[in-house]
Amino acid sequence: MRRGKLTVVGAGPGDVDLITLKGVKALQSADVVLYDALVSSELLEYATNAENIFVGKRKGCYSYQQNQINDLIVERARQGLHVVRLKGGDPFVFGRGAEEMEHAARFGVEVEVVPGISSSVSVPASQNIPVTKRGAAESFWVITGTTKEHKLSNDVALAAKSNATVIILMGMSKLGEIMDLFKKEEKENTPVAIIQNGTTENEKIGIGTVASIEHKAKEQQLSNPAIIVIGEVVNHRQQILDIQNQYQLQGKELFEKV
């Protein structure tokens, strides 16, 4: 009998071109694909021989509970099928990929992971915001904005005390609480970026400071799924724009002189 297998695949931040080649190969060999809400449906076109099952969740609405997803993985793998669990970003960065692999392995299912490009670094990068930059940030924190108890992670308060870039996923519902922690550390003027639907055609971005970003978010109607970036590195985006504008201006002046 053919032995079943689970491959947990990171789909990347949203842009379909940012999935890895190994991830594409896994989809091409899949018999069943269980995919999440943040995964582009275009990626399912690679899974030409697979049954595609949506198991994602949005704003507390669950198509499958986590224990049901775990059971579905084991059930299909025990039928000798190759199950691909397709997750947004990287499956080991707040993706519960490790939990699903552990559950499947307990039932004798062969398991493998294909890392994905994490939205925590790639989404800021897509907007010319580095997470580290010499002279601005020597390190970065990646923190979930909401724990399994639906509370703000205690690590946010610790991160606010540091000089590191702070990247918060799933934190828009607690934006006010997050900014209050940074205000307590007298960081009202620290730059902040909020990037919604990063790397997709629906991408939106808001730029402000710890003191002003809540107003900016309301003004621009920014909401989840979004990434919050806090730190001096946010200024790099404007610096690049200024350099480009200056270059174009100089080029125009040179052309007019000729």
Q: Which residues are catalytic?
A: 36, 57, 170
Q: What is the DSSP letter of 138?
A: S
Cβ contacts of 61-67, under 8 Å, gap ≥ 24: 66/96, 66/99
The answer to whether the CB of 117 falls within 8 A of the CB of 13 is yes
Contact partners, residue 193, CB within 8 Å, separation at least 6? 124, 127, 129, 205, 206, 207, 228, 229, 234, 237
CA 33/CA 6 separation, integer angstroms: 10
CA 236/CA 233 separation, integer angstroms: 5
**The pair of three-digit structure tokens given for residue 201, joined into one six-digit string:** 């055609």
Closest CA to 167 of 118, 204, 212, 121: 121
Q: First vs last Cα of the chain: how many Å apart?
A: 77
